[in-house]
Amino acid sequence: MAGVLQKTGFGGRPTGLAEPYEPRPRARGPCRETLISHVRRIAVHVDEPNPGHFFWVLTEECDDASHWIELESADLSYDTWLDALYAGVRALQGYAEDPRIGPRALGENEDSNPVG
């Protein structure tokens, strides 16, 4: 990869194109069998802060559908948009403990009384 632009990331370690597949953190919340889980709304997009330097970014939708928070992003730039996108998809896959059902977040207990 020519002309690598380094980005400060978690732990300061460079990731580059050969990022290993590793599980990502699950949603926070109590672990109880009675809670319903749902697929987390995580999106991957590619940012180009400088011409020719592409970074993947993972964002997740908050309770308000118009608000998204950044979960993580590439530490190093990629030479092409497509390389960055593929690496971002690999990072997104790390959020799913089971690839058949995707990344899950715990929801509310269906059997509990409504609040209010």
Residues 6+ apart with CB under 8 A from 39: 101, 102, 103, 104, 105
d(CA 59, CA 73): 9
What integer is the mean pLDDT of 29-56?
80
Is the pLDDT score of 19 beyond 80?
no
pTM to 2 decimals?
A: 0.62
Residues 6+ apart with CB under 8 A from 116: none
- The residue among 102 and 48 whose pLDDT is bigger is 48
- The residue among 112 and 78 whose pLDDT is bigger is 78
Give the torsion sign (CA, 85, 80, 57, 67): negative
Fold of 35-109: Ubiquitin-like (UB roll) (3.10.20)
What are the extents of the domains in the chain? 35-109
Cross-strand partners of 56:
46
Assess contact for 90 and 104: CB atoms under 8 A.
no
What integer is the mean pLDDT of 64-72?
88
